[in-house]
Every structure is written in structure tokens, then in C-alpha cells.
A = this chain, B = another copy of it.
Amino acid sequence: MLELAILGLLQEAPMHGYELRKELAAKLGAIRAAISYGSLYPTLRRLQAAGWITEAAETPATAEEVPALTSRRGRVVYTITAEGKERFAQLIAQAGPETYDDTGFGVHFAFFARTDQATRLRILEGRRRKIEERREGLRDVLGRAAERLDAYTLELQRHGLEACEREVRWLEELIANERSGRAPTVPEAGTAGGRRENDSPPPPGESRKERP
């Protein structure tokens, strides 16, 4: 999962570790806390060893003397390689079971702008199926095993069930949207904004406004 997220982010711009973590937190803030350095740095090394990314130390040019005195440690900027982009595309397209768990789905969804429509649809439907299964499980427990459980546990299940139902509805909307052509959700599309974000393929909606 981390691998996919890193490759995805580095496709937008080269970054160093700290930046990567912040961007990741911004992009995935809805589904998980900030990534740990204890995962990030080892993963970066692994990706580099595999050739998916390259590392470029940011030394202040011509480090003449003082070769080993306190050895200034510059920032290390990582750049994705062509092989890395290939790898990313492959990871995005092939969906394992982990693609549909909370984190996996979130990461995939966050990179939907770089995913073709067929794959988007497949992932959304897979996720819906999974959530529906969870929902049925909760309904079973609430229906059949209700007497065995205390009031708090039941309340927890009930809240979980509600969350499932909401997510299914959300996914239905997204799926319908996806099938009918474009755009997740449609707020008013005013604001003639100079589009940035250049290269990525047809982005679904336009800028959303609504400031409360």
C-alpha cells in the first residue's frame, strides 16, 4: 500500500521523505493518520533498490574541504523512474483482496485521477461488495445474537451498520456517476480557474466551492 502511495505521489513531483509524508497526510487524511518514518524510509530504500525510484542527494555543490567533519547531511530527493511509473500502473490495475479493505481502497481512490475508468468502476464495485458483506454480517449479529451482547456492544454494531449503509449509498452514487460519463458529485461549476495539475487524464469534477 505504501509502495503504491509513494509511487503515485512521486509522479506529481520529486520529493524528499519529509515532504512525502506531509503530502501523503494531506491526500489520505480522510482514511489514515500520517505514515510513520519507520515505514517510510525502509520502503523508500526498497523502492530504490528495485529501481522504481532514484535518489539524488542535495549537497550544496562542491563540498571542497571538510570531507568527514560532521558530514553535512543534505536532503535526499527521490524521483520516480520510467520503470516506477510502469510499476505504479501495474499496481493500480491489478486488484487483490487488499484493494478493498479500508486503507487499500482509500489509497486506490486517492489516485483515481490516474486510473482508467474501467478500473475505477471495478474497484468501486469491489468495495461496494465488500461493504455489503460487512453490512450483512452486522445485521446478522444485530438480529440473531442480540441477546448475547450487552447494550454498548449492540450500540457499536448499530453505529457500524449505519456507517456501512452510508458508504454503500456513497459508492452507488460514485458508480452511477462513473457509468454515466464523468465526475464524482456535481456542485456548481463556476469559478473560471486556470487549470493546473497538467498531465493527469480527464479529471472528473471541476473545482468545488462552498465555503461555510
In the complex, the answer to whether A197 meets B113 with C-beta atoms within 8 Å is: no
Measured between beta carbons, the chain B residues less than 8 angstroms from A205 are 151, 154-155, 158
State whether the Cβ of A41 lies closer than 8 Å to any Cβ in chain B.
no
Kindly provide the distance from the CB of A111 to the nearest chain B CB, expressed in whole angstroms: 8
State whether the Cβ of A37 lies closer than 8 Å to any Cβ in chain B.
no
Interface residues of A in 6-55 (CB under 8 A from B): 26-27, 29-31, 33
In the complex, the answer to whether A184 meets B155 with C-beta atoms within 8 Å is: yes
Which of B27, B112, B155 is close to A204, meaning CB atoms less than 8 Å apart? B155
Measured between beta carbons, the chain B residues less than 8 angstroms from A193 are 147
Which of B113, B150, B170 is close to A150, meaning CB atoms less than 8 Å apart? B113
Which of B29, B111, B112, B203 is close to A137, meaning CB atoms less than 8 Å apart? B29
Nearest-CB residue, chain B, relative to A145:
B26
Which of B147, B153, B202 is close to A151, meaning CB atoms less than 8 Å apart? B202
Q: How many copies does the complex hold?
A: 2
State whether the Cβ of A75 lies closer than 8 Å to any Cβ in chain B.
no
Kindly provide the distance from the CB of A93 to the nearest chain B CB, expressed in whole angstroms: 16
Which of B26, B156, B200 is close to A141, meaning CB atoms less than 8 Å apart? B26
User: Which of A57-65, A66-74, A82-90, A159-167 forms contacts with chain B?
Assistant: A159-167
Which of B29, B111, B197 is close to A134, meaning CB atoms less than 8 Å apart? B29
State whether the Cβ of A3 lies closer than 8 Å to any Cβ in chain B.
no
State whether the Cβ of A116 lies closer than 8 Å to any Cβ in chain B.
no
In the complex, the answer to whether B30 meets A157 with C-beta atoms within 8 Å is: yes
State whether the Cβ of A138 lies closer than 8 Å to any Cβ in chain B.
yes
Measured between beta carbons, the chain B residues less than 8 angstroms from A198 are 147
In the complex, the answer to whether B151 meets A203 with C-beta atoms within 8 Å is: yes
In the complex, the answer to whether A156 meets B197 with C-beta atoms within 8 Å is: no
In the complex, the answer to whether A153 meets B204 with C-beta atoms within 8 Å is: no
Which of B106, B145, B148 is close to A156, meaning CB atoms less than 8 Å apart? B106
Q: State the A residues within 8 Å of B (CB).
A: 26-27, 29-31, 33, 101, 106, 109-113, 134, 137-138, 141, 143, 145-161, 163, 166, 170, 174, 183-185, 187, 193, 196-198, 200-208, 211
